[in-house]
Amino acid sequence: MKSKDKKIRNRRCIWMMAVLSIFPMATLRAEVPDMEESVRMTNIMEMIADTNASIDTVWMLLAAMLVFFMQPGFALVEAGFTRTKNTTNILMKNCIDFMFGSILFWFIGFGLMFGIGKFVGTPHFFDLEIMDEIIANGLPIEGFLIFQTVFCATSATIVSGAMAERTKFSMYLVYTVFISVFIYPISGHWTWGGGWLMNADEGSFMMTAFGVPFHDFAGSTVVHLVGGTVALVGAAILGPRIGKYDKNKRSRAIPGHSLTLAALGVFILWFGWFGFNPGSQLAAAGIENRTAISHVFLTTNLAACAGGLFALFTSWFKYGKPSLSLTLNGVLAGLVGITAGCDLVSPFGSVAIGIICGVVMVYAVEFIDHVLKIDDPVGASSVHGVCGFLGTILTGLFATADGWLYGAGPNFFLAQCFGSVTVGAWAALMGYMVFKGLDRIYGIRVPARIEEEGLDIYEHGETAYN
């Protein structure tokens, strides 16, 4: 009996030990899934972040391709608004702007624009690894470089149209060097590269003076005002084309050879602007970015349509007939004007900016031609210079958050005026020094005989049409 009781007690002990041993095993098994779940969630988050970065990169590069496609748009507009005997020269200058400008901007301009410094960045020749550490925006540095390169080329190519049909090709090459490595990158650094105009830190100049930094989302001032101002200065120093003004200084029309080419060029530019403005968001992943991109698409298109329509109405009212050339430039005026604040203004604000820029552009073309007596064959200084300035300061009125018309006070408007005037003055001064210096040393204008015969044969030995 005792033996039997002993066996029963032993069995109970064994069972109790078995039951007790289950609890730590259960705890361990509970911990293992938790650890595995944590690792799995970490991996998922890393995959999501990597996918978002890839989407952002692809969007930026796609936008860069669209902006690059604006180059043939500029070429066609300029060729269409000028005469057949200078078409090859126009096309060659547009090629040079991008080819020469790309290498120069990569070598020097990129560092000056995005390097460390309040006034100008420190150049790091060829060293993209250092620039990657400085910028650190999460995007591949090579992709960011090419995106900024196409913007630089846009600013450079604006000038060729205003100085068309009478400029030495060699002197235009020299100008391309200066705008690609000096004029554009330095003013670009102030506004996009961490410089003093965009500095929102407490105690910075803009915050002390206005309480807000300067804002130029996609380049009304940085790209278009710079290019348009240099174009105006260059055209003034160069002088008008032969036959543009009579003995009494009255303006004579010198029609371009193909409004068909000009219209096609404007539509290409319009298409490219959907990379120029929305692409400046530099990101596409996430609800915030896709909402911002969609908004910028809408405001960009509305401003273009409003600018074109009201340039048409203004020319019809002023001259008795609707002008196709002014309508085309009105579309570009609206696009240039909305570029600064396309992210901040409402659709209504974008239409208002387009209307103002389209109307003012028509009067600016006449004022520059008839009053200032500056010969600008394509209206580049009116479209890009005047409307670049207008669009920037109008952002200070129509921005829904900080705009004066929305009850936020005049500070943002004044900051926009100050920044735009400062950059415009810089471009005017540098453009004057470059073109005046080249003109005194080498002469920037071709001889009268060559101008009358056309630059195609003299400068390039070939014609665009045979």
CATH number of the domain that residue 338 is part of: 1.10.3430.10
Summarize the confidence of residues 367-387 as an average pLDDT.
97
The answer on pLDDT for 433 being more than 60 is yes
Higher per-residue confidence, 127 vs 384 = 384
**Residue 5: predicted pLDDT:** 52
**Residue 32: predicted pLDDT:** 55
The answer on pLDDT for 177 being more than 60 is yes
**Residue 290: predicted pLDDT:** 94
| Residue 28 included in any domain | no
pLDDT tier, 230 (very low <50, low <70, confident <90, very high otherwise): very high
pTM of the full structure: 0.90
**Residue 48: predicted pLDDT:** 85
Domain that holds residue 285: 44-460
Round to whole Å and give the CA distance between 364 and 357. Answer: 10
Compute CA distances 199 → 21, 213, 340, 397, 418, whole Å.
65, 6, 17, 21, 14
| Residue 15 included in any domain | no
Summarize the confidence of residues 257-277 as an average pLDDT.
98
User: Can you say whether the dihedral through the CA atoms of 163, 447, 258, 75 is positive or negative?
Assistant: negative
**Residue 139: predicted pLDDT:** 86
The answer on pLDDT for 446 being more than 50 is yes
Residues in CB range of 143: below 8 A, 6 or more apart: 57, 60, 61, 64
Round to whole Å and give the CA distance between 172 and 159. Answer: 9
Summarize the confidence of residues 170-198 as an average pLDDT.
95
pLDDT tier, 49 (very low <50, low <70, confident <90, very high otherwise): confident
| Residue 119 included in any domain | yes
What is the pLDDT of the chain when averaged over all its residues?
91
2-47 pLDDT, tens digit per residue, is 454 544 455 555 545 444 444 454 444 455 566 777 777 888 888 8
Could you give phi then psi for residue 445, rounded to 5 degrees? -110, 140
272-324 pLDDT, tens digit per residue, is 999 999 999 999 999 999 999 999 999 999 999 999 999 999 999 999 999 99
Question: Residue 338 corresponds to which tokens in the numbers above?
Answer: 């909305």
| Residue 32 included in any domain | no
**Residue 37: predicted pLDDT:** 74
**Residue 45: predicted pLDDT:** 83
| Residue 61 included in any domain | yes
Summarize the confidence of residues 107-128 as an average pLDDT.
87
Compute CA distances 186 → 181, 189, 432, whole Å.
8, 5, 16
The domain tally of the chain equals 1
| Residue 466 included in any domain | no
pLDDT tier, 1 (very low <50, low <70, confident <90, very high otherwise): very low
| Residue 3 included in any domain | no
**Residue 335: predicted pLDDT:** 99
| Residue 5 included in any domain | no
